[in-house]
């Protein structure tokens, strides 16, 4: 399920703040983690940025990022609407800044932080290998 891309900035700003839960990319990541036998908690609000998946004991966290809202660099889904373009560029920049701040805080607390982009789910074998490689070192 792709996030909708409404053209009304006020409505869109509201939607961007509410991170979507239980989206297809998140379900795909959950299935991979389970298949790797990795225990996790969902939507961990006690950690910076409320990671989608985290294991506090093993100290890793995963953010599943929508390519549009979080403006994945060089991704074809990271488009900028032609109407209200300045607003949108500011909005995406603010999202990126917030993401970076959460990642920095977690890394400072000794967490291994992984960002999984929505488009990576299109290549599940590659994603599985990446998660396995990154998390097996700490799991
Ligand atoms: Zn992407």
CA 106 / ligand 1 centre spacing (Å): 23
CA 76 / ligand 1 centre spacing (Å): 7
CA 107 / ligand 1 centre spacing (Å): 23
CA 111 / ligand 1 centre spacing (Å): 24
CA 63 / ligand 1 centre spacing (Å): 13
Residue 58: predicted pLDDT? 94
Domains and CATH numbers, the chain: 22-136 (3.40.960.10)
Residue 23: predicted pLDDT? 83
The count of C-alpha atoms lying within 13 angstroms of the C-alpha of 60, restricted to the half-sphere facing its C-beta, is 18
CA 110 / ligand 1 centre spacing (Å): 27
Residue 1: predicted pLDDT? 44
CA 90 / ligand 1 centre spacing (Å): 19
Q: d(Cα 18, Cα 52) in Å, to the nearest integer?
A: 13
Per-residue pLDDT of the chain in tens (139 residues, 90 and over written 9): 444 455 555 555 555 545 566 788 999 999 999 999 999 999 999 999 999 999 999 999 999 999 999 999 999 999 999 999 999 999 999 999 999 999 999 999 999 999 999 999 999 999 999 999 999 864 4
């Amino acid at each position: 399920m792709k996030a909708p891309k409404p053209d009304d900035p006020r409505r869109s700003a509201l939607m961007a703040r509410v991170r979507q839960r239980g989206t297809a990319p998140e379900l795909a990541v959950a299935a991979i983690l389970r298949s790797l036998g990795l225990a996790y908690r969902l939507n961990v609000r006690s950690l910076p940025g409320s990671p989608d998946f985290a294991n506090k004991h093993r100290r890793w966290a995963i953010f599943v990022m929508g390519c549009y809202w979080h403006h994945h660099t060089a991704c074809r889904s990271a488009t900028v609407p032609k109407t209200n373009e300045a607003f949108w560029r500011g909005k995406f920049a603010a999202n990126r800044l917030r993401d970076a701040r959460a990642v920095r805080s977690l890394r400072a607390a000794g967490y291994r932080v992984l960002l999984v982009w929505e488009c990576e789910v299109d290549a599940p074998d590659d994603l599985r290998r990446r998660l396995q490689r990154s998390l097996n070192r700490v799991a």
